[in-house]
Amino acid sequence: MSLMKSNQKKGNDWQTLKRVIKLALPFKNLFFLSLGLGILVSIVTPLRPYIIQLTVDNNIIKQNGKGLEMMGLILLLTLVTEFLVKYLFGLHSTKLGQTIMLDLRTKLFNHVQTMRLKFFDKTPVGIITTRTINDIEAINNIFSEGIINIVADVLTLIIVIGFMLFINWKLALVCLTTFPIIIYATYVFKEKVRLSFNDVREKVAQLNAFVQEHISGMRIVQIFNAQEKEYKKFEKLNHEHFVANDKSVLYYSIFFPTVEVILALAISLLVWYGATQVMNNVATVGIFTSFILYLNMAFRPLRMLADKFNTLQMGIIASERVFKLIDTNDKIEDNGKLAPKKINGNIEFKHVWFAYNHDNFVLKDISFQVEAGKTLAIVGATGSGKSSTINILNRFYEINKGEILIDNINAKDYSLTALRSYIGTVLQDVFLFSGSIYENISLKNPNITKVQVIEASKLVGAHNFIMELPNNYDYNVMERGATLSVGQRQLIAFIRVLVYDPQILILDEATSSVDTESEILIQNAIQKLVSGRTSIVIAHRLSTVQNADKIMVLDKGEIKEIGTHNELIQLENGYYKRLHEMQFQSAEFA
């Protein structure tokens, strides 16, 4: 059973390696140039000991000064050639790895951007970060330090052994008797380090996920005074990472001295048997000298091969993870062809059912209509399905049953890019990127000018507070807009939507977390935003939606009531009336 698993694993490794090599196809000229230079390195390098052998035997022993000058010049040219070839090989193999890494990382990030939100709901950000940064770096090492270097080292080893056998096969066989030992030691080392490196990669991914999550949620950690508990969790993860690394360090500290001892043993055999041959005139001093160099050349690739095989193995393991992410087809289908520049903005839900997980429906048989230019307010208790309604309108999630129509056309018939360009959304938790206010509003869209941004800011009443900030519109808001208040971030989100000029506007709890002064500003901004646009407004505060053309009440994923504020407030034992009375009583009590 274990043998079958082992064979299957090796088969998978080969399949992965083939796929990795295919990554070099767009850069095949660079790949073959690197491979050719690697082969040239393996040919040029073993020439040096042979030249030294001829120099010793034909010139130094025979005291041939003229010949010694010539051989010295040849040796110098060989060294210069070896240097240039190795330099070019290192340069181009590294460039190949970097080029492939650049291309793959860009493709992976682009792929991640197309994933549906459900994927991000179940995948920690730290894991995606590890795949995009660390694992692709390991794939880079396959080309810059792995596969081509292994080919060059193996070929160098074969040519070196070939030279030794050609020069003196008996002496060569005596010296090479230690090779089975070093090959076995290399294999054991490779397997042990492979397992430890795999463990290291897992621990790095866990650390990245933990740090990402806890830095993002540091406010909660400090609010609940949980620093000590979280510190202990991190300390445990960090220690596991240390232990995994410590194992690989142990294997290296054993392997490299072992190689040196075996090399010393091989040289001892050379001295014992080679000296006897020299004294018996079977071998020359030049051969003896060259064999010392050849043994060092033979052991160097063997010493490095184990490390390079592990680099290759780690790259294959990382590749499997990256390819698994690339092969994850968790995307919204984008088969729509319609992309009109403008739409009227009629929205209709027809018997829509939706579940995040299988049949656990959060929306059940939802049917309603919003006429172009009108405003629909959605209210209800937490978990009633309000946010789910707007998520499926944007097609962040796919519905299970029913239809969503925009201008009497199924939303799936529009291209995804076009559909989302028609809809502007302001969420309760506004996300701002590191950068200036202007960049956060325009999202670096070259078609949006600073003049447009300033006009939109004045329209929503945000221009004054922006002008009071250092550097005004060039003020750096830092990550997630931490240096701005909730209300200020909300106003920036309104400006962002306004400059993109969508035909449909969605406001999700836009005033639920702001103070009274900010709420007044935001309410004024909302009035400007909804004017002439089809709008869906989700709110907990019923006072903010009383002027909506229609109010829809959701409860446990079902529509309970639809009507105007005046109509719903008059319904005996109505859901809206009860919600309104509860909020009114809470306000009176406060």
Position 333 scores a pLDDT of: 80
Highest mean pLDDT among 66-70, 291-295, 308-312, 579-583 belongs to: 291-295
The model's pLDDT over 346-358, given as tens digits with 9 standing for 90+, comes to: 999 999 999 887 7
Phi, psi of 511 (to 5 degrees): -120, 15
Radius of gyration for the alpha carbons in the chain, expressed in angstroms and rounded:
35
Residue of 216 and 326 predicted with greater confidence: 326
Considering the chain, what is the average pLDDT of its residues?
Answer: 82
Mean pLDDT of 203-224: 76
Tens digit of pLDDT for each residue in 3-17?
334 444 555 677 888
Question: What pLDDT shows up at residue 403?
Answer: 92
The CA distances from residue 287 to 71, 165, 277, 278, 282, in Å, are: 16, 11, 10, 9, 10
Q: 349: closest CA among 72, 536, 87, 587?
A: 536
Q: Is the pLDDT of residue 585 over 70?
A: no
Exposure string (b/e) for 556-567, b if CB count within 10 Å is 16 or more? ebebebbbebee
Residue 480: per-residue pLDDT: 67
Going by pLDDT thresholds of 50, 70 and 90, the confidence category of residue 511 is low
Give the residue-averaged pLDDT of 523-528: 72
Question: Distance between the two ends of the chain, CA-based, in angstroms?
Answer: 70
Q: Which of 38, 37, 75, 20 is nearest to 301 (CA)?
A: 38
Residue with tokens 């060569």: 172
| Highest mean pLDDT, choosing among 336-345, 454-463, 531-540 | 336-345
CA-nearest of 32, 20, 25, 28 to 135 is 20
Q: What is the pLDDT of residue 275?
A: 82
Closest CA to 188 of 299, 312, 310, 297: 310
Yes or no: say if 31 and 96 are a contact pair by the CB < 8 Å rule. yes
The predicted model gives 23-41 an average pLDDT of 89
* % pLDDT > 90, the chain: 6
Give the pLDDT score at 8.
47
Query: Can you tell me the mean pLDDT for 85-111?
Result: 89
Q: How confident is the model at residue 512 (pLDDT cuts 50, 70, 90)?
A: low
122-146 pLDDT, tens digit each: 777 777 887 888 888 888 888 877 7
Note the pLDDT of residue 88: 92
If you average pLDDT over residues 515-520, what whole number do you get?
Answer: 62
Q: To the nearest whole percent, how much of the chain has pLDDT over 70?
A: 92
pLDDT at 483 over 80: no
Higher-scoring residue by pLDDT: 234, 590:
234
Model confidence at 584: pLDDT above 70: no
pLDDT average, residue stretch 440-452: 84
Single out the residue of 456, 421, 445 nearest to residue 343, CA to CA: 421
Q: Could you please report the per-residue DSSP string of 315-342? A: HHHHHHHHHHHHH---B------B--S-
pLDDT value of position 33: 92
pLDDT at residue 246, as a whole number: 82
Residue 514 reports pLDDT greater than 60 = no
Using CB atoms within 10 A of its CB, is residue 265 exposed (0-12), middle (13-18) or buried (19+)? middle
Residue 410 pLDDT greater than 60, yes or no: yes
Residue 148 has pLDDT above 70, yes or no: yes
In three-state secondary structure terms, 240 is helix
pLDDT tens digits along 38-92: 899 888 888 888 888 888 888 888 777 777 888 889 889 989 998 999 899 989 9
